[in-house]
A = this chain, B = another copy of it.
Amino acid sequence: MCNRLLNDLIDIWQLLGHSHNVAWLMGKARTHNGSSTPTIRDVARAAELSVASVSRVLNRHDNVHPETRDKVHRAMRDLGYVPNAAARSLSTAKANAIGVVLPDLYGEYFGELVRGIDRAVGKHGKLLLLSTIHADLALAASAMGAMRGRTDGLIVMAPELSRADLDTVIPAGMPTVLINSPEDAAHFNLRVDNRAGMMLMVRHLLARGCRSIIHLGGRPENLDAAERTEGFRMAMADLAPDLAADVLQGDFSEESGERLVQQLLSKGSRFDAIFAANDMMALGAIQALKTVGISVPDEVAVAGFDDIPLARHLGLTTLAVNIAATGAMAVERLMIELAGEAPAPQLVRTSARLVVRESTSRR
């Protein structure tokens, strides 16, 4: 009846050309009938209470009469009311979600990291906003900008951005934790201790008797790739200064590992170990060796970096990073910052553990 009245009024005004009033009234009419999703005001009306009381029930304030609480609950159930998160975020300036920005990662790394972050975020009762960036600065900026208002904090993994770019791209005042990104005085940064890891593996390969080790590196723009290559050179210089430290450049993809080894073989190079900068390239290398009938590990030892799930199944010797745990750790640190207890930002290195499997076992 109320709506009928309103609609008549709308018709009249429409005839008179008062389109502004019409739009306004139609908005009112809409919230009155059930066609649109109900708002807190609809609940208040149904429960014959004010919006303040409904809001207090929603937020579990304790100064609400039990009877009132029941009335509100009944009204919410009847209307199928679900609060609007955008409105809530706007008025409280809290989004109850955290944003994750990372590159479209190779292989299983992506899934493992997202899984680790997601679990930790869920444990804190928050949602996860995911955005992948593709090495484009402008896109990275817009991705992080899009998080403004929807997230309370950010976890950023940008191994291919420069330190300066990172600074311009992270919105000012947004609590942010970095993973495997350039060092930055303003933010906590979680990095793998690549150099120490490389040292461990080189020592292992030398101990196993390898004399000509070839390192398959990632693209030098990638921070971890660069550190690993440098770590390889340092380790070789330290532990076996008389041996050559050969480095070839790939791009972390399985295909590049396979291609590089094929090239080596076709050139007739001699080598007894391949140490790739990540597991995917190591798997590619094994593939190439197997194809031409070279035995791993008897003729050539192969090692990787990361310890993705595949590595265990394929018996690949590698450096274990525990990717999921890294993600979870970043979340925990971010939560601390959000709680206001902000210890000085710092660079934390997580150590890589040497995992010896068949691909480098002694003959």
Contacts and interface: CB of A to CB of B under 8 A. Distances in A.
Interface residues of A, number: 45
For the complex, would chain A's binding face be called helix, strand, loop or mixed by DSSP majority? mixed
Contact of A309 (B95, B108, B122): B108
A130 B108 contact: no
Interface string A74-93: 00000010111111111000
A340 interface: no
Nearest to A130: B128
Contact of A89 (B86, B111, B119): B86
Contacts of A146: 85, 96, 127
A93 to B, nearest CB: 9
A131 B110 CA distance: 16
Contacts of A216: none
B130 A118 contact: yes
A97 interface: yes
Contacts of A147: 85, 127
B128 A131 contact: yes
A343 interface: no
A150 interface: yes
B313 A149 contact: no
Given A146-B85, A150-B85, A309-B310, A115 B119 contact: no
Contact of A115 (B88, B90, B110, B149): B110
Contacts of A107: 309
B119 A132 contact: yes
A283 interface: yes
A108 B115 CA distance: 10
A90 B84 contact: yes
Given A84-B90, A146-B85, A115 B111 contact: yes
A104 B130 contact: no
B86 A172 contact: no
Given A127-B130, A127-B146, A104 B119 contact: yes
A293 interface: no
Interface in A113-135: 114-115, 118-119, 122, 127-132
B148 A97 contact: no
A108 to B, nearest CB: 6
A17 interface: no
A220 interface: no
A268 interface: no
A112 interface: yes
Contact of A127 (B83, B108, B115, B131): B131
Given A84-B90, A87-B149, A111-B111, 7 more contacts: A37-B171, A83-B149, A84-B148, A88-B149, A97-B150, A119-B132, A150-B150
10 contacts: A37-B148, A83-B148, A86-B86, A88-B149, A108-B108, A111-B114, A118-B130, A129-B130, A309-B310, A314-B314
Interface of A: 37, 80, 82-90, 95-97, 104, 107-108, 110-112, 114-115, 118-119, 122, 127-132, 145-150, 171-173, 283, 309-310, 313-314
Interface pairs A-B: 10 shortest CB-CB: A111-B111, A84-B149, A86-B89, A86-B149, A85-B149, A128-B130, A86-B90, A82-B148, A82-B145, A85-B150
